Amino acid sequence: MSKFTWRIENFSGLDAEKIYSVTFVLNEYQWRLCLHPKGIKAGHLSVYLLVADLSNLPNGWSIATKFSLALVNQIDNHKTIKRGLVLRISGTSPSTSSLLRFPKSLHGCMSDFFEM
């Protein structure tokens, strides 16, 4: 199983609507994460898994994948929040089905840095 860790410094001070991780390679595909710190819906932090370079994939491509995210609580590791999905991403729906939502009340996960 492959792993990518995204650590965001000064997360509580972010004012951006959305931010993107660096591109990373897992299972021969290039991916990146898109994080909406304030959420798309009230009360939630939203995360998307995106295929990083759609232009290099052939017409009709489709990827079946299983992924999970963990929001690491630096104060109490037992309060770390994990979510997972099994999904199919294709050229017609490259990211809409890959949304995960987390409660915004994540005390300990987002003080000085945020890690997933």
CA distance 75 to 61: 42
The residue ranking higher by pLDDT, 105 or 77, is: 77
Question: Across residues 69-87, what is the average pLDDT?
Answer: 78
**pTM > 0.85: yes or no:** no
Strands 29-36 and 24-26: antiparallel
The pLDDT-based confidence of 22 (bands split at 50, 70, 90) is very high
Q: In the structure, what pLDDT confidence band is assigned to residue 7 with cuts at 50, 70 and 90?
A: confident
Over residues 1-13, mean pLDDT:
79
Indicate the class that CATH gives domain 7-115. mainly beta
Structure tokens at 114: 């945020």
Q: Can you give the residue ranges of every domain in the chain?
A: 7-115
d(CA 58, CA 74): 41
Rg of the chain taking only CA atoms, in angstroms: 15
